[in-house]
Amino acid sequence: MFPTHHLLASLVGIALLAGCSARVDYRGASLYTGFILVDPQAETSTLNSWLVIKQGAILEMGAGTPPSGDFEDVHDLSGLYGMPGLIDAHAHVTAGPLDSGIEDGSPYVGVRSGGAYARFNAAIALAFGITSIRNPGGATEANAEYDRMIATGTWVGPEAVHAGSVIEPPPFGGPSFAYPTTPEEWDAEAARQAAAGMTYFKLYTDLTEAELGEGARTAKAHGLIPIAHLNAVSWSRAVELGVEQLEHALPTSPELLEPDVRADYVNPDPTGRYMFRWFELADLGGPLVGEMIRTLAARRIHVDLTLMVQDITFHADDLTEIFPASERRYYHPESFATAMANYEAIAGLWTENEFDRARAAWPRVLELAQRLHRAGVPLMIGTDGTGGAPVYARELGHHVAAGIPVWEVLRMATARNAELMGWGDKTGRIAVGMEADLVFLRSDPVEDVRHVREVEIVVTDGHPYRADELRAVAQAILDGS
Q: What does the radius of gyration of the chain's CA atoms come to, in whole angstroms?
A: 24
Name which of residues 226 to 245 contact Zn ion (CB under 5 A).
Answer: none
DSSP category for residue 282 = -
Q: Of the listed pieces 123-131, 210-218, 280-288, 378-386, which binds Zn ion according to CB under 5 A?
A: 378-386
88 near Zn ion, rule: CB under 5 A: no
- Considering beta carbons, is residue 168 or 384 the nearer one to Zn ion? 384
| Closest C-alpha among 199, 188, 125 to residue 161 | 199
- Considering beta carbons, is residue 137 or 390 the nearer one to Zn ion? 137
- Considering beta carbons, is residue 384 or 435 the nearer one to Zn ion? 384
CB-based contacts of 261-270 (< 8 A; 24+ apart in sequence): 267/231, 267/232, 268/206, 268/231, 268/232
- Min CB(172)–Zn ion separation in Å: 13
CB 91 within 8 A of CB 133: yes
| Closest C-alpha among 200, 216, 207 to residue 168 | 207
Q: Of the listed pieces 61-69, 163-171, 383-391, 468-476, which binds Zn ion according to CB under 5 A?
A: 383-391
CB 132 within 8 A of CB 421: yes
Q: Residues in contact with Zn ion, total (CB under 5 A)?
A: 1
- Considering beta carbons, is residue 54 or 92 the nearer one to Zn ion? 92
Please, which residues have CB within 8 angstroms of residue 399's CB and are 6 or more apart in sequence?
305, 307, 369, 381, 409, 412, 449
304 near Zn ion, rule: CB under 5 A: no
- Min CB(214)–Zn ion separation in Å: 22
CB-based contacts of 50-54 (< 8 A; 24+ apart in sequence): 51/82, 51/430, 52/26, 53/29, 53/436, 53/459, 53/462, 54/26, 54/28, 54/29, 54/30, 54/462
SS3 string, 24-76, reads CCCCCEEEEEEEEEEECCCCEEEEEEEEEEECCEEEEEEECCCCCCCCCEEEE
Beta bridge partners of residue 163, listed in sequence order: 136, 200
Q: How many CB atoms lie within 10 A of CB 39?
A: 21
- Considering beta carbons, is residue 29 or 161 the nearer one to Zn ion? 161
Cis peptide before 363 (omega within 30 of 0): no
- Min CB(125)–Zn ion separation in Å: 15
- Considering beta carbons, is residue 136 or 173 the nearer one to Zn ion? 136
CA atoms of 17 and 20, how far apart (whole Å): 5
- Considering beta carbons, is residue 253 or 306 the nearer one to Zn ion? 306
Q: Of the listed pieces 116-124, 175-183, 382-390, 464-472, which binds Zn ion according to CB under 5 A?
A: 382-390
- Considering beta carbons, is residue 227 or 281 the nearer one to Zn ion? 227
- Min CB(325)–Zn ion separation in Å: 25
Name which of residues 130 to 159 contact Zn ion (CB under 5 A).
Answer: none
- Min CB(382)–Zn ion separation in Å: 8
- Min CB(137)–Zn ion separation in Å: 6
Residue nearest to Zn ion (CB): 384
- Min CB(160)–Zn ion separation in Å: 14
Q: Of the listed pieces 19-27, 118-126, 152-160, 377-385, which binds Zn ion according to CB under 5 A?
A: 377-385
- Considering beta carbons, is residue 90 or 315 the nearer one to Zn ion? 90
384 near Zn ion, rule: CB under 5 A: yes
Q: What is the DSSP string of 138-163?
A: --HHHHHHHHHHHHTTSS-S-EEEEE
- Min CB(401)–Zn ion separation in Å: 21
- Considering beta carbons, is residue 88 or 384 the nearer one to Zn ion? 384
- Considering beta carbons, is residue 145 or 384 the nearer one to Zn ion? 384
CA atoms of 415 and 97, how far apart (whole Å): 31
- Min CB(298)–Zn ion separation in Å: 26
- Min CB(250)–Zn ion separation in Å: 11
- Min CB(384)–Zn ion separation in Å: 4
Q: What is the DSSP string of 184-252?
A: HHHHHHHHHHHHTT--EEEE-TT--HHHHHHHHHHHHHTTPEEEE--SSS-HHHHHHTT--EEESS---
CA atoms of 301 and 358, how far apart (whole Å): 27
Which residues of the shown chain bind Zn ion in the complex (CB under 5 A)?
384
